[in-house]
């Protein structure tokens, strides 16, 4: 459990000492990460500090709801790339990680050591990649980072605008599968109630989920096409005439990794002249190397990688065949 009064006091002190407040959500941003980051930016500003959010995700890879929040938030909050930030960086900036505690999950991993103080506001478990800092405000019993930031806003007497309340509510809704995963006696319900008193409502956040439902059906369609015969890899080859978003392809790959496989690969057309592959691995095979071998525009980490193929002679079927040929030897040598 986080002691919010102490948390607020520590944060307040460090914000007052710092030059600027830099907020980083996790990569592959979602509604909880962006909403909690926006709330944190509002808190930074309350203390008169320049506060901005680092965002380096490929717009195509941002889920619909988070994209809506970002578009809306841009009018009132500064959302900048890492390279833009580096031009404005000072030695006294305070870094706040929202909805994330691991160094390999933020876009500013390479410059983490340059910050004197780093705050973590998160509800995920920690591991050896967790950033080493005394300011870890991590509560796994919280529904979401948005819930934690909302609590912090209440004790900080932040003036919560209806829009900010709406974003935070959407963040909580995402991580609780629209409130279905919240224990009835949970503090989260109390936070939800208090947010609705700030000029938003459960109905107001509906639009953040609508598009996702249609997309859900599309990526589930991809999951249905999975073939599992290739050793322990699940492979999907989408219909060449169907155009998917990169997010849908990634979601299908994520979903398939939940099954008893070592890796999942989803091939789908993302534009008339581009095919995309999304690869996920539990570590036994190096997804990054496979993706690198598939395309000059391919690569990533051993567990999470992607490739883009822009050769117009290729179809999803030809790419799928090449991918299977590439993967089979990888599994033989194990």
Contact residues: Mn ion, CB under 5 A: 32, 99, 144-145, 175
Which residue's CB is nearer to Mn ion, number 176 or number 278? 176
Given a contact cutoff of 8 angstroms between Cβ atoms, the answer to whether 291 and 306 are in contact is: yes
- ∠ Cα 24 141 45 (to 5°): 35
Which residue's CB is nearer to Mn ion, number 66 or number 305? 66
Which residue's CB is nearer to Mn ion, number 172 or number 235? 172
Q: How far is the CB of 292 from Mn ion (least distance, A)?
A: 30
Q: How far is the CB of 166 from Mn ion (least distance, A)?
A: 17
Run of H or E residues at 263: strand 263-271
Which residue's CB is nearer to Mn ion, number 36 or number 278? 36
Q: How far is the CB of 226 from Mn ion (least distance, A)?
A: 27
Q: What is the CA radius of gyration of the chain?
A: 21
DSSP state letters, 153-171: HHHTT----HHHHHHHHHH
- Residue number closest to Mn ion, CB atom: 32
Chain centroid to CA 23: how far? 14
Which residue's CB is nearer to Mn ion, number 73 or number 222? 73
CA-based end-to-end distance of the chain: 44
Q: How far is the CB of 191 from Mn ion (least distance, A)?
A: 14
With CA atoms as reference, report the closest residue to 93 among 20, 17, 10, 11: 20
Using the Cα atoms of residue 77, residue 81, residue 86 and residue 92 in order, give the sign of their dihedral.
positive
């Amino acid at each position: 459990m986080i002691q919010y009064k102490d948390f607020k006091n520590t944060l307040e002190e460090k914000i007052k000492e710092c030059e600027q407040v830099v907020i980083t959500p996790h990569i592959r941003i979602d509604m909880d990460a962006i909403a909690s980051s926006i709330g944190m930016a509002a808190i930074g500003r309350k203390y008169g500090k320049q506060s901005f959010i680092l965002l380096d995700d490929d717009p195509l890879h941002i889920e619909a709801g988070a994209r809506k929040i970002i578009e809306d938030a841009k009018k009132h909050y500064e959302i900048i790339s890492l390279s833009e930030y580096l031009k404005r960086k000072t030695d006294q900036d305070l870094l706040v990680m929202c909805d994330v505690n691991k160094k390999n999950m933020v876009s500013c991993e390479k410059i983490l050591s340059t910050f004197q103080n780093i705050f973590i506001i998160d509800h995920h478990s920690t591991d050896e990649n967790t950033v080493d800092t005394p300011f870890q405000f991590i509560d796994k019993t919280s529904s979401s980072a948005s819930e934690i930031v909302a609590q912090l806003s209440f004790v900080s007497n932040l003036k919560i605008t209806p829009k900010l309340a709406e974003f935070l509510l959407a963040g909580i809704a995402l991580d609780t599968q629209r409130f279905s995963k919240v224990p009835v006696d949970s503090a989260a319900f109390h936070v939800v109630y208090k947010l609705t008193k700030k000029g938003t409502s459960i109905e107001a956040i509906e639009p953040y989920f609508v598009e996702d439902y249609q997309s859900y059906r599309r990526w589930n369609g991809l999951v249905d096409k999975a073939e599992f015969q290739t050793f322990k890899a699940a492979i999907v080859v989408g219909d060449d005439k169907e155009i998917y978003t990169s997010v849908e392809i990634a979601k299908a790959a994520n979903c398939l990794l939940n099954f008893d496989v070592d890796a999942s690969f989803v091939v789908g057309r993302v534009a008339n002249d581009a095919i995309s592959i999304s690869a996920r691995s539990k570590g036994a095979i190096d997804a990054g190397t496979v993706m690198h071998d598939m395309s000059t525009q391919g690569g990533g980490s051993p567990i999470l990688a992607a490739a883009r193929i822009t050769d117009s002679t290729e179809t999803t079927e030809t790419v799928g065949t090449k991918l299977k040929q590439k993967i089979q030897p990888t599994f033989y040598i194990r």
